Chain A
Amino acid sequence: MRQTIVTAFAAVLVAAGLWAAPASAQVQIDINHPNVQPLPIAITDLFGGSAQDSQTGRDISQVVSADLERSGLFRPIDPKAFIQTPDSLQIQPRFADWKAINAQALVNGKAEMTQDGHLRVEFRLWDVGAEQALIGQAYNASPLGWRRIAHMIADSIYKRLTGESGYFDTQIVYVAESGPLKHRIKRLAIMDQDGENHRFLTDGADLVLTPRFSPTTRDITYMSYYRDRPRVYVLHLDTGRREVLGDFPGMTFAPRFSPDGNSVIMSLEHSGSSDIYVMDLRTRHVTQLTSTPYIDTSPCYSPDGTQITFNSDRGGNQQLYVMNADGSNIHRISFGAGRYATPVWSPRGDLIAFTKWTGGTFYIGVMHPDGSGERLLTQGYLVEGPTWAPNGRVLAFWRQERMNSRGRGGSDKLYTIDLTGFNERQLITPLDGSDPAWSPLLP
């Protein structure tokens, strides 16, 4: 898809000096401030010369607006308050009109169907106070690609105004749950990060758990109980083909791709003890990394592939450990009260997210890879399984409600939360959901 886009048409229009001296821009979000005031931004409907084009323009703007709003860092201004109209905006913003409604940033642009049947979209981001263009870009795609264009525009705006890369042009794979709690039907499902384009990847005949994306986003590794043999599989999204990884006597589970996509790391259970193994997907060669009578599971590579964090009860109860990628230098990193599980290394490398529970309450938290700086982001009767957005700023996880005394309730829902612990939001799914995994930015 990316081959169809980005001809940074007006990057040239953006004064080179602006990029050289970003401090001169008045609009900037300090993303690290935990209680940042959302930036008021006016996102106008992209101008369309025909009824169809203007509908497309409106749809794109709404997706951009929803993405930015959901981040918690932006406050899109109600379009009913806008003074200047999209067609006159085509010529030049009247900044006074936008200052009048306290917009600090302004987005406008144009959508049109080209004669060869492509959708061409241009947009600009303006600093209202400085009366300057900050970004101008154009995209070409098939008309079906309008949502992705919208997400890419949102990513572009997010990046320009926060200094961090975006995470909107991404997908989430998760376990969709339905049916009675004693016999849940679990299916893999995939959707855009905003919940759109939802589709099921498996039919529910077999119990499936813990899906995770490959770095290319085109493969999913997961666990399936196909034929009552719980094993790790890889599903190739483009072909729908699925294959079991290896032929082991015991259960294989807790799979994750290595950062280069060439291996899958997982747990292999034998005679009740679970150890960590890595399989090279090209040679199918398997290497055992841990060897104890204890439970070693939930392995996850550091983004540079040199280290692995995992969960083990070798110290008496569940704690987090880090080792080198070859299995050497195993050391414990979690020392707080309670139990720790599901360590997941941030794509930026600076943090490890985890599930923790103590005193009957579960938490999602983060700590540095050396175990310092533990910070709890959210809590609940049961919260579990954090996964990082590709920019390492936002996490998704799942939350299980407490059942009442009659065994009612207890549903699972997906949530997202900012790294600061603010802006927790439910991610709406058609059915209950668990085990979310966030994709890298789509290729």
Chain B
Amino acid sequence: MKMRFLTVVAAVALLAACSSNEEAGKANTGAGTAAATTAAKPGVVPGSQADFVANVGDRVFFAFDKSDLSAQARQQLAAWVVFLKKYPQDKMTVEGHCDDRGTREYNLALGARRANAVKEFLVAQGVPAASLKTISYGKERPAVLGDNETAWAQNRRGVGVIGE
């Protein structure tokens, strides 16, 4: 049982690693629900943010001016659900972010919409709403610098941050 869970996580982590090279919104093919292992890295506390980033993948991506979750994003979030259920004491803040091809105030609202879409998915999958917070940073906190579609796609994101 344990082995099976760990396998899922690793597959998803792998998937997340690929996703940064792909355009947002593109459905992921292949990489399925197979399973691998988290073989915790030395020094990474299980259930911590570092664990989450390294072994689950802390972000999902959105299409331009959209907040609906792609198939790829849903797969990623399913792994978040597994993680959050495994560490029920974890609280998560879901950050919503935008690319900078939009105006500041609208993007604050769009980021909130994205963060909320992530939260709603997690809640629907059984994560207690009380353990989730959302915050929008609009276009104020880009993950990647660059004025091109590759950078923008990586900046249109929802990010999970594990905290107390």
* Chain A contacts to B: CB under 8 angstroms: 181-184, 186, 207, 209-210, 223, 228, 230, 250-251, 253-254, 267, 269, 271-274, 295, 297-298, 311, 313, 317-318, 341-342, 355, 357, 381-382, 384-385, 400, 402-403, 405-408, 410, 434-435
Contact = CB atoms under 8 A, between A and B. Distances in A.
A21 to B, nearest CB: 48
Interface of A is mostly: strand
B101 A357 contact: yes
A405 B108 contact: no
A181 to B, nearest CB: 6
Interface string B55-82: 0000000000101000000000000000
Interface of B: 65, 67, 93, 100-106, 108-110, 112-117, 120, 134-137, 140-148, 151
Contacts of B67: 272
Contacts, number: 104
Contacts of A274: 109, 112-113
Contact of B147 (A183, A342, A403): A403
Contacts of A407: 144-146, 151
Contacts of B117: 272
Nearest to A272: B116
A251 B114 CA distance: 14
Interface of B is mostly: mixed
B38 to A, nearest CB: 28
Nearest to B140: A207
A297 B105 contact: yes
Q: Give the 7 A-B residue pairs with the shortest CB-CB distance, closest first.
A: A272-B116, A407-B145, A341-B103, A274-B109, A295-B109, A272-B113, A254-B105
A273 B103 contact: no
Contact of B100 (A228, A271, A382, A406): A382
21 contacts: A184-B140, A230-B135, A250-B112, A251-B112, A251-B136, A269-B136, A272-B116, A272-B120, A274-B113, A295-B109, A297-B109, A317-B65, A318-B106, A400-B100, A402-B147, A403-B145, A407-B144, A407-B151, A410-B145, A410-B147, A435-B104
Contacts of B109: 253, 267, 269, 274, 295, 297
A272 B145 contact: no
A341 B106 contact: yes
B104 A385 contact: yes
Contacts of B147: 381, 402-403, 410
A264 to B, nearest CB: 14
Contact of A273 (B113, B143, B145): B113
Nearest to B118: A272
A385 B144 CA distance: 24
Contacts of B101: 357, 382
Nearest to B145: A407
A313 B106 CA distance: 9
Contact of B145 (A181, A228, A267, A297): A181
A248 to B, nearest CB: 13
A385 to B, nearest CB: 7
